[in-house]
Structure 1
């Protein structure tokens, strides 16, 4: 971990187990929705007692919390390069049977996407805004490329967006399918590969998948005083004031346009977000003496 990491995350000096509580050697984590494991310990949420319970950002922003996670606005930027000790991965590919990776060498913006949570038996891809229980969350998207046998109809129909795990082909087999030895594996090569020498292709329906895998982020939390950027405000996502520099892709999220669009257009840069902390001492107002 970089020595200056405390400059990038307000929780940098918080002990890990304060959020990731442990019980019987089980460390708090996000619990897969399809899990049958009964001993999982869930990681604390932002509004847990002793954390940020009761904090208000005003009626309009608080109403957003029904569909938006706190991190969505409080992780506006992620560190690239070696700020955190190692550059975060941007993509990986097993297309040619050997692992090829790219990394974020500079700071980057997380992707905002709909999600219901994580699964053991599904790929972490974007959910639909119309699914019950979805929330808008911040993710580090990692583009993954690999060959699939093409046995799953959903994968064949929608290879790049299906959440199905499918039937990945082993990298060693992919590499062996490179019949001309040029280091590049083509569709015809993998589909005609006959590894068991029975004169029948082993993977006649093989398909190359390019999937944006969404990994939810919870670190690099910013405040108005600490972080790589200020927390998002209304005009980062809505209104004419953010035109050309929106933090959110409304089309990607399933909207035809900004759902807060008004006629005439609203300048959301004028909107302030108040913060009320339970038990906080009121701001003292200086006044002239009465006498």
Structure 2
């Protein structure tokens, strides 16, 4: 299969994107250019039960109501982003739909129960078996709706087990499997693609959004992921208060660090201590000088006032100080953009980078000036009598 970059030159089309190479090596093109599917899709296929037409009970995502009914509203859904090894061998976050299948298995090694056997267990012609209908029909209306047609109790599960065993199947049991399906259609142009940095670089990041695996779990079990998909599943499957299943990805387990979304507590603590310590040092330094100036006021002298340092040294000093403070400020915004909603995250990144370049250039010129002019001597103590005078 051909890749997007074989025809599209990202260097020309993504000049607005900071750190293009880092993004292209971590995020698949489809992740941003297929931000949403504007149709319904299969969510769960439950073969532990059968409908009257001999099919699995299915639920769909992206629709309010039954899929296929023209009166129901199509809402669409957001694909889940999962790490996948692509054709070039690079692991990138790519969009998927997760479809959960539940089915009966038997024997050792386990094999799926045949459809013919399931029909024999559930159906009697074009109706349900009498004992199956009695067990599943909660409201007693003689029909099984989508909520009733579920193996959601021990009584229902044991009934179906007994009927399968009566057919000669050994140790029948329910198994669930989640199969990821890659999404490659409905590609949109730049006007509709994901461009806002905070869509990913925030607490409510797209990369950590859970995806529903189904409104219920037959038999109360937990499904497993299909193997040999080239996809890493390092997140967690959890159940909400209604019994619905969700898969929540965890990109930190994939060594993917997103500024603004991920954080490492010890590094945050060290960073804040460094910032607060620097500010405290500045306040203490400036405060002490003001205190001493007030304590020992200068008497007027018939002397010419001169600066202790040259114009360039003063310019270098204050430029360096201002740039460092701005670097701290923009760095904090980049690290925690959710705390600074008023700031443009996409603008802070290039500003931060420009400030870093300016800091380095300023430092290089300062080193050259101090060595070329000999002013470096003021920072070098003279050994003779230095320690004695210091003590």
TM range (shorter): 0.5 to 0.7
CA distance in 1, matches of 2:195, 2:103: 35
> What do residues 146-168 of structure 1 show as CA deviations (whole Å, max 9, x unaligned)?
2223645xxxxxxxxxxxxx632
The alpha carbon displacement at 1:63 in A equals 1.3
RMSD between aligned residues: 3.4
- After TM superposition, list the pairs within 5 Å mapping 1:43-82 onto structure 2: 43-48=1-6, 51-55=7-11, 57=14, 58=17, 60-80=19-39
Q: 1:151 to 1:59 in 2, by over 3 A?
A: farther
Q: Calculate the TM-score normalised by the size of structure 1.
A: 0.53
Larger Rg: 2
Runs of 4+, deviation exceeding 6 Å: none
CA distance in 2, matches of 1:150, 1:247: 42
Question: Counterpart in 2 of 1:110?
Answer: 79
More helix by share: 2
- Larger RCO, structures 1/2 (Cα 8 Å, 6+ apart): 1
| Alignment pair present for 1:206 and 2:155 | no
Question: Counterpart in 2 of 1:171?
Answer: 115
Structure 2: state its 5+ residue gaps: 64-74, 123-128, 137-148, 210-234, 236-247, 269-331, 339-343, 351-391
| Alignment pair present for 1:267 and 2:267 | no
Contact 1:110–1:138, Cα closer than 8 Å, also in 2: yes
- After TM superposition, list the pairs within 5 Å mapping 1:178-257 onto structure 2: 178=122, 180-182=131-133, 186-192=156-162, 193-194=164-165, 196=167, 201-209=168-176, 211-225=177-191, 227=192, 230-239=193-202, 243=203, 245-249=204-208, 252-255=248-251
Q: Calculate the TM-score normalised by the size of structure 2.
A: 0.41
Structure 1: state its 5+ residue gaps: 1-42, 81-86, 119-131, 153-165, 275-291
> What do residues 174-207 of structure 1 show as CA deviations (whole Å, max 9, x unaligned)?
23234723265643234332455xxxx4131422
CA distance in 2, matches of 1:45, 1:71: 10
CA distance in 1, matches of 2:22, 2:3: 17
Alignment coverage as a number of residue pairs: 186
Q: Give the secondary-structure state (helix, strand or coil) at the position aligned to 1:44.
A: coil
